[in-house]
Amino acid sequence: METIVRPATAEDIPELRALIQASVNHLQATDYTESQRQFALGGIFGVDPLMIEDRTYFVAVSDSRISASGGWSRRATPFGSDSSPARDDRMLDPQHNAAKIRALFVHPSFARHGLGSLILNTCEAAAKAAGFRRTELTATLTGVKLFRVRGYEPVEEILLPLSNGENLPVIRMTKQLPAMDTAH
Ligand SMILES: CC(C)(COP(=O)(O)OP(=O)(O)OC[C@H]1O[C@@H](n2cnc3c(N)ncnc32)[C@H](O)[C@@H]1OP(=O)(O)O)[C@@H](O)C(=O)NCCC(=O)NCCS
């Protein structure tokens, strides 16, 4: 399987929405109930076109189809789509704030093939190149399994309220990015 990573474009949005829905419904099924997943889709789990405009959202393309997506952001919004309940478009300061890692979704047909790690590496490298020293994310219980092995430490457990009265448990996690190589 040949995979390339490229910035997402507005034309990708319909395929991204389908990928996110499939990812949530299949890969999160052991961690969240059906109703938690359905009420989180759209606002908490969805596409943020501003990240595409910022050119900080990436897709992995395997055999001509989008197999995974995810991004990083220098904006304060911690998670979610353009209708995220936590929307905050302010710009972060790389000297003092952690860059956000957001909306990492792998298509179920491509799970456990290293694509989540590939997108995460791409995001961390881009955030570091933009001057950030730390990254931070709001992890699903599914994502925690990946992020722990990628060096993320849990900071806080959060219950995100859903519009049906239920909650979605998630975990805020952070990582210190390795220092720049100054050997040459
Ligand atoms: C979380 C997610 C992005 C992981 O993507 P992935 O491409 O399957 O992850 P990788 O193949 O890069 O996994 C790397 C390592 O992380 C760990 N890991 C990842 N998923 C795991 C799981 N479900 N169970 C246990 N360990 C897991 C393993 O150590 C794995 O290495 P291994 O496969 O050699 O054992 C994917 O499951 C997903 O899209 N989930 C649904 C959407 C979601 O909740 N996203 C997170 C938003 S914060």
Q: Which residue has the higher pLDDT, 107 or 181?
A: 107
pLDDT of residue 181: 58
Q: Is the CB of 117 under 6 A from ligand 1?
A: yes
Q: Does position 26 have pLDDT exceeding 90, yes or no?
A: yes
Q: Does position 166 have pLDDT exceeding 70, yes or no?
A: yes
Q: Is the CB of 27 under 6 A from ligand 1?
A: yes
Confidence band of 1 (pLDDT split at 50, 70, 90): confident
Q: Which residues contact 86 (CB under 8 A, 6 or more apart)?
A: 77, 78, 79, 80
How far is 50 from 72, CA to CA, in rounded Å?
A: 11
The predicted-structure confidence for 136-149, as pLDDT tens digits, reads as follows 999 999 999 999 99
CA of 146 to the centre of ligand 1 (A): 5
Can you spell out the DSSP letters for 4-33? EEEE--GGGHHHHHHHHHHHHHHHTTTTS-
What's the Rg (C-alpha) of the chain? 16
**Residue 183 carries which side chain, given as an amino acid letter?**
A
Q: Does position 100 have pLDDT exceeding 90, yes or no?
A: yes
What residue's CA is closest to ligand 1, atom 21?
Answer: 145
Q: Does position 49 have pLDDT exceeding 70, yes or no?
A: yes
- Please check whether residue 57 is in contact with residue 75, taking contact to mean a CB–CB distance below 8 angstroms: no
The predicted-structure confidence for 7-19, as pLDDT tens digits, reads as follows 999 999 999 999 9
Which residues, in sequence order, are bridge partners of residue 99?
135
What is residue 58's three-state secondary structure? strand
Mean pLDDT value across the chain = 96
Q: Which residues contact 170 (CB under 8 A, 6 or more apart)?
A: 79, 138, 139, 140, 141, 157, 158, 159, 160
- Please check whether residue 102 is in contact with residue 119, taking contact to mean a CB–CB distance below 8 angstroms: no
What is residue 73's three-state secondary structure? strand
- How large a percentage of the chain has pLDDT more than 90? 93
CATH number of 3-132: 3.40.630.30
Q: Does position 57 have pLDDT exceeding 90, yes or no?
A: yes
What residue's CA is closest to ligand 1, atom 15?
Answer: 146
Domain ranges of the chain: 3-132
Q: Is the CB of 140 under 6 A from ligand 1?
A: yes
How far is 159 from 141, CA to CA, in rounded Å?
A: 12
pLDDT of residue 180: 65
Q: Is the CB of 106 under 6 A from ligand 1?
A: yes
Q: Is the CB of 144 under 6 A from ligand 1?
A: no
CA proximity to 53, closest of 71, 26, 30:
71
Confidence band of 183 (pLDDT split at 50, 70, 90): low
pLDDT of residue 179: 82
CA proximity to 87, closest of 97, 98, 102:
102
Closest atom of ligand 1 relative to the 142 alpha carbon: 44
Q: Which of 74-88, 89-103, 150-164 has the lowest mean pLDDT?
A: 74-88
CA of 182 to the centre of ligand 1 (A): 32
